[in-house]
Amino acid sequence: MVAQAIAEPIVYPAIGAAIDIEHVSHAFDIGDTELQVLDDVSLKVRPGEFVVLLGPSGCGKSTLLRLIAGLEPPRAGVLRENDIRIKGPHPSRVVVFQDPTLFPWRSVWNNVALGLEAQGILKTQRHRVDAALDLVGLTDFRNAYPHQLSGGMAQRVALARALVNDPKVLVLDEPLGKLDSLTRIAMQAELVALWQRKGVTTLLVTHDVEEALVLANRIIVLSDRPARIMADIAVARPYPRHRGDPYLADLRRQILGLLGLDVTW
């Protein structure tokens, strides 16, 4: 375990929900063999926290997010949202995937409206769609179709589509992974601003150490497959963070060490 203890509790706006992950293990059947991807993972996420799950690619961190989203049940263990067992997907826990996965046959506005429409409340709540589009700065593109958008714009639409539901937990699966580095830095700042404004519990998966350091209250370092929690690191630094901050540089060295990459430093 790394030296940093869990940071002193910060008071967050009470919109976010708590997530409890208790002794969760999971595996996939590939042909006749069983591939173990999660090995006894336990984690408590406090309401309003920004937790980054960091690990080598293919270690099973995206699988953990799918379990939190309720898209699959775990093979062992229990997941809870505010002490209620997670049994399936629910719009209080919304996922943003690595690919924006916008529906190409819907305009930007209609893509963002998807959640409200699925829940049958769009008719009375149309203003929320407008507000979400405004939040990500894409009001002018409301009638555009997905193929007319750039990668960064498409991912912002995906973000708006998630936020329009006023989720209690935002689950982000490498949402910035496919963006160019400049757009990526800009979007990281936007994510932090959104999270600070909304107070949503946010779980983000990445394999980018830098990104984790800029965004997280807490970094959970996962091992190679099957994923176990190797370290739970608090990042007690105010936002916006400076990328050259020596405190962050020190943390970065520690984390790379945990991932077995300290030689490259």
**Which residue ranges make up the site for another protein (CB under 8 A)?**
69-71, 88-91, 93-95, 97, 99, 101, 103-107, 114-115, 117-119, 145-147, 161, 165, 171
Please state the closest distance from residue 215 (CB atom) to another protein, in A.
21
Burial of 170 (C-beta count, 10 Å sphere; 0-12/13-18/19+): buried
Please state the closest distance from residue 72 (CB atom) to another protein, in A.
10
Helices 126-135, 151-163: inter-axial angle, 10-degree rounding: 140
d(CA 203, CA 180): 22
Please state the closest distance from residue 177 (CB atom) to another protein, in A.
14
| 146 or 152: CB nearest another protein | 146
**Phi then psi for 195, rounded to 5 degrees?**
-65, -40
DSSP run (H or E) holding 23: strand 19-30
| 65 or 179: CB nearest another protein | 65
| 84 or 118: CB nearest another protein | 118
| 89 or 257: CB nearest another protein | 89
Residue 97 carries which side chain, given as an amino acid letter? F
SS3 state of residue 132: helix
Please state the closest distance from residue 73 (CB atom) to another protein, in A.
13
- Reading the block at residue 125, the tokens are 């709540």
| 57 or 119: CB nearest another protein | 119
Please state the closest distance from residue 121 (CB atom) to another protein, in A.
10
d(CA 172, CA 95): 6
